[in-house]
Amino acid sequence: MKKLLLFIFCSSALFLSAQEVRRFSSSSGMSHDICYGLAQDRFGQLWIGTDDGLDVYDGKSFRGFSSFDGLVSDYVIGLTIDTLDQIFISTWGGGCQAFDLKNSTFSNTKSLPDKVKNIYTFGDRIISLPDTRLQIYDAEDLSSELSFGLEFASGKLRARQLDPKKYISGIQQIKFSGNPVGEEFFIYFNPVKHIQSTKDLPGIYQLNISEESAVELTLMQNNWQKEYVSYYMERYGKYYYGHDGGLTIDASGQQTVINLPSGLFPIKIEFYSEHKLAILTIDNNGNRQAFIWDEGNLTDIKSLAGINNSLSDILLDKEGNLWVSSYGDGLFCLRERSIRFKHLNEAFFPDPNIFDITSDQRGGVHLLSRDFIYHFQDNQVSKKKLVSTCSKVKSEGENVILFCFEKYQPSLSGYALNDFEDEYFDGKGQIEIDLNKIIFNQHEVLLSPGIQWKSLADGIGQTFWVGGQDSLYQFDFQSGEPINKIDLNDCPCGNRLSKLLHVNEVLYVGTNKCLAKWENDRFDKIILESEDEVIGINDLLYDETFDAIWVATQKGLYRCQGNMVMGYNQSTGLMTDYVKALTLDSQGMLWASCNLGVNVLDPSEFTTSTFPQFNILQDDIRFDVFSISLSGSNNIIVEYELDGSKIWKRMEDRNISFEDLKFGTHSVVFRTRFTDGAWKNSESYSFEIVAPWYKTGLGLTVLFTAFVGLISWVAIKRIESISFRNQQLSQLIYEKTETQKQLESARQSIARDFHDDLGNKMARISLVSELLLTNQQNMDQKMRKHLVTIKDDADVLYKNTKDFIWSLTPESNLLHEIDTYLCDFAENFFSQLGISFDVKREYPADLALPHFYSRQIIMIFKEAMTNAAKHSNATEVLLIFTVISDKLSISFIDDGKGVHSADLESSRGVANMKSRAIKINGILKYDLDFKKGCSLSLLLDIPKQYLS
């Protein structure tokens, strides 16, 4: 048996790197790769000055601010943050400027001089030290500026006020630097060469600024008063002095020197702890380097992070990450990672794709891949070649069972072999699976429609669980009887089972979609990430020591402990997100296999005491919730609870507003955690949803009163309008009635005048002609013929004039008068010809027609009667009047010989009748039948105003 000796707890390959380096640049979303000052606000956001504006990083993405957003210059050199959530910005070309974090707005104030480098907050003042000047600003008004140069007078250093707009003259320039220490500010040596002639400043001076802005400098009396100190700090009761080639730590007179390369001067310290420091240095040319000093070990940060260009600043954030900015290489994050995961990869397993794993009672771990079964024991790994594919490996006390397609594999000595799909439970024994049949303890049970693979689970006592396609069954191992059945259609995760686990009266059900539990006769979904998650479950394991359920999934490893769910993935140390199988060894170590090998971890190291940076800004009913981690973890959860409801809802965005709640006072509590951490709750915030004035009692009363008033006003106006219209209508009716009376009177007068004048004259002409014809028997025939013509024309003209005069009379509007007039004519006319005449009527007695209808109707039917008498050879004629709804029909029918349609179309009389019908919007129709005679009908629409 071939063995590989592995000293895994000494091999660096098994451990994660203690220092993870991440690089950010313009390709990551930054404005520029040349970076300057760094600062972190109280919300946890990181601010970076760049060559192309101001950037902020919230752990997920960068946001940039530039001159388009109100920045006076895009060259942002230095940053500092005060207690009022303002960032003070020093720029190269725009002076100093303030940025309000709460409102995300820049101040409009521009300070002098234009070119400012470093910047510090000091009480209610802002201090900048651009090489040879001391600039002091009022934090509330950056345009209020005092500028000082330093000079020695009578052996003492004093500050001389200068005009910030002018170049220093008449004073020996001293270059210096400084920084705040607690509530004090100190000034000391600046090692960088200046382009002008300057003097170096030895010692350390305390800066005092009076209320009247008078500046005093006091030399600290110690062993460094004649030395060139590049940095000074107090922390942990110790004093830190930067100088050429080193940093001296003075603890009550006991000095420790951190040696640095010669020519490098410390200018900033970030404290991991009392015994671990990050030190930023500078040389005479302004080039910067940084080092990590840890209990005597010095690490060059540029070499560690692979930075080529000079550094610009360092900052240790609130999570212990060290941020390093550079002149051209972007931004770097050095993250201290907990050494919790150990990795066993292809260096230890020829086939690292481990799909099942188990531990035995002797402290060994057995790992199954496609081609090998590995045995890990006492820091040694051995392997055996598989002849046939095996599905799983399981321990039975000191024995280990392989479940394979072929039971005979001579190379697998030390392993028991079972069928591929069988199962074994400690204390119960073997369970055989054959299609729809399971065999155990001499019992044989049929299940329909079948058993799902990986769907058996050990139960409490002498019970076990089997998963079918539609149901879960619990059997008693001794009796073989089913004692419980659960319908899988009720499972919120579907019915494609992947793993079952029974723990403490709770059955955990893993499927290809999610994880659920059956408890108290109901299914509940266990949320690992989000409500709508789809996460395939590969394995489940109970950790009795911590009373936790470990869940291997296709998206990482999860630990369910009480109501807490913690997640781990590749970003938190796993080899890959896809975790296949789990086991606990005899030492309590958790082994999680994947396709790249095995992750080994100690569950006791997975503490839950760390939290994201958690801050909340309230603006009435609107809240900005900052839950930020700069450690590269996106696994942050934020939830809120309203009015003590015990219902927590997840937030997807940072901002939330509660304007949709009912009116009144409400409260909200927020909480946050890493997916592998505990919850951190905020305080309770109260807010009030104020009803608009128009929804208050008084407002509703006012609105109701106004509404009633408006309705009343509208009603009054409407009544007035109706009354006025009624008056107008009455006047119009009166005027129309009078006009109608006048019209009827005029028609009557015209008819009378026509009758008296024209009618009488026509009668006289006819009479005189008749007398002449009678008395003059010897009259010339030609003359007689002319007299006959005159007499006939006079008779016709008289009759037609009579019709016209009658149509002018008001009574001619009535249909029954038209009826009477036509019947009188017909009876007289047809009686002389020996033709029988009859009439039928069906219309309202008082029906009237427009005054111009009667003449056209009379002329049409007199023409029709005349034609019938002349051409039809009829013996009977019939006149019919019918009114149906708004339609009037007048028909004239004879029983004569009829007429050809061609003759009808060529007849002038017929053409005249059609023309008259059109004048009164009527339709003239003929019905020709040579056996039954001829029928003529006039169809008229009765105007609405004439219908009763």
Per-residue model confidence (pLDDT) at position 395: 85
- Give the closest residue to 201 by CA, choosing from 154, 268, 131, 146: 131
Are 597 and 621 within one domain? no
First to last CA, the chain: 121
Report the pLDDT averaged over residues 373-381: 88
CATH number of 71's domain: 2.40.10
Output the pTM of the full model: 0.56
Are 599 and 639 within one domain? no
Which tops the pLDDT comparison, 212 or 859? 859
Eight-class DSSP state of 548: E
Give the three-class secondary structure for 815: helix
Are 507 and 468 within one domain? yes
For residue 309, being part of any structural domain is answered with no
Rounded Cα distance, 108 and 278, in Å: 36
Encoded amino acid at 48, one letter: I
Are 940 and 793 within one domain? no
For residue 644, being part of any structural domain is answered with yes
Rounded Cα distance, 237 and 235, in Å: 5
CATH number of 416's domain: 2.110.10
Per-residue model confidence (pLDDT) at position 396: 79
CATH number of 898's domain: 3.30.565.10
Model pLDDT for residues 481-521, shown as the tens digit of each residue: 888 888 888 899 988 888 889 888 899 999 999 999 999 98
Give the confidence band of 861 by pLDDT, cuts at 50, 70, 90. very high
Encoded amino acid at 500, one letter: L
Please report how many Cα atoms fall inside a 13 Å half-sphere around the Cα of residue 412, on the Cβ side: 27
For residue 317, being part of any structural domain is answered with no
Distances (CA, A) of 28 to 32, 60, 61, 99: 10, 10, 8, 24
Rounded Cα distance, 77 and 48, in Å: 9
For residue 891, being part of any structural domain is answered with yes
Per-residue model confidence (pLDDT) at position 576: 93
**Domain boundary, last residue among 690, 710, 742:** 690
Q: In this structure, how many other beta carbons lie within 10 angstroms of the beta carbon of residue 234?
A: 13
Per-residue model confidence (pLDDT) at position 55: 97
Task: Tell me the two tokens of residue 91.
Answer: 């720029």
Are 447 and 592 within one domain? no
For residue 373, being part of any structural domain is answered with yes
Are 907 and 785 within one domain? no
Per-residue model confidence (pLDDT) at position 2: 37
Distances (CA, A) of 242 to 274, 278, 312, 785: 16, 13, 17, 156
Are 800 and 836 within one domain? no
Rounded Cα distance, 98 and 139, in Å: 9
For residue 878, being part of any structural domain is answered with yes
Report the pLDDT averaged over residues 54-73: 93
**Domain boundary, last residue among 564, 580, 606:** 606
Give the confidence band of 4 by pLDDT, cuts at 50, 70, 90. very low
Say what percent of the chain tops pLDDT 90: 39
Are 707 and 767 within one domain? yes
Model pLDDT for residues 12-37, shown as the tens digit of each residue: 333 334 568 899 999 999 999 999 99
**Domain boundary, last residue among 499, 526, 553:** 526
- Residue 888, pLDDT > 60, answer yes
Are 835 and 909 within one domain? yes
Model pLDDT for residues 334-345, shown as the tens digit of each residue: 987 654 688 998
Per-residue model confidence (pLDDT) at position 8: 38
Are 708 and 785 within one domain? yes
Q: String of b and e for 302-319 (b: at least 16 CB within 10 Å)? A: bebbebebbbbbbbbbeb
- Residue 770, pLDDT > 70, answer no
Rounded Cα distance, 856 and 676, in Å: 104
For residue 393, being part of any structural domain is answered with yes
Report the pLDDT averaged over residues 560-570: 81
CATH number of 629's domain: 2.60.40.10
Beta bridge partners of 178: 187
Eight-class DSSP state of 693: G
Beta bridge partners of 395: 400
User: Is the Cβ–Cβ distance between 583 and 355 less than 8 Å?
Assistant: no
- Give the closest residue to 877 by CA, choosing from 833, 925, 820: 833
**What is the rounded average pLDDT for all residues in the chain?**
85
Give the confidence band of 933 by pLDDT, cuts at 50, 70, 90. confident
Rounded Cα distance, 131 and 196, in Å: 11
Are 395 and 496 within one domain? no
Q: Is the peptide bond before 113 cis (omega within 30 degrees of 0)?
A: yes
Are 412 and 469 within one domain? no
Domains of the chain: total: 6
- Residue 70, pLDDT > 80, answer yes
Give the confidence band of 597 by pLDDT, cuts at 50, 70, 90. very high
Give the confidence band of 191 by pLDDT, cuts at 50, 70, 90. very high
Q: Which of 243-252, 297-306, 386-395, 707-716 has the lowest mean pLDDT?
A: 386-395
Which tops the pLDDT comparison, 240 or 845? 240
- Residue 608, pLDDT > 60, answer no
Q: Which of 135-139, 322-326, 610-614, 632-636 has the lowest mean pLDDT?
A: 632-636
Per-residue model confidence (pLDDT) at position 904: 66
Give the confidence band of 758 by pLDDT, cuts at 50, 70, 90. low
Please tell me the total number of residues recorded for the chain in this structure. Answer: 948
Model pLDDT for residues 77-101, shown as the tens digit of each residue: 999 998 778 999 989 888 888 999 8
What is the domain extent for residue 102? 31-117
- Residue 930, pLDDT > 80, answer no
- Residue 566, pLDDT > 90, answer no
- Residue 400, pLDDT > 70, answer yes
For residue 226, being part of any structural domain is answered with no
User: Is the Cβ–Cβ distance between 116 and 96 less than 8 Å?
Assistant: yes
Q: Is the peptide bond before 191 cis (omega within 30 degrees of 0)?
A: no
Model pLDDT for residues 806-839, shown as the tens digit of each residue: 766 777 788 898 899 899 889 988 888 889 999 9
Give the confidence band of 6 by pLDDT, cuts at 50, 70, 90. very low
511 Cβ contact list (under 8 Å, min separation 6):
491, 493, 494, 495, 496, 497, 498, 536, 537
Beta strand residue intervals within 213-336, DSSP E: 215-219, 231-235, 238-243, 246-251, 254-259, 265-273, 276-282, 288-294, 297-300, 311-316, 322-326, 331-336
Q: In this structure, how many other beta carbons lie within 10 angstroms of the beta carbon of residue 880?
A: 16
Instruction: Please give the backbone phi and psi of residue 424, each rounded to the nearest 5 degrees, phi first.
Output: -145, 135
Q: String of b and e for 836-855 (b: at least 16 CB within 10 Å)? A: ebeeeeebeeebbbebebbb
Written in H, E and C, the secondary structure of 305-349 is: HCCCCCEEEEEECCCCCEEEEEECCCEEEEEECCCCEEEECCCCC
Task: Tell me the two tokens of residue 157.
Answer: 């250093």
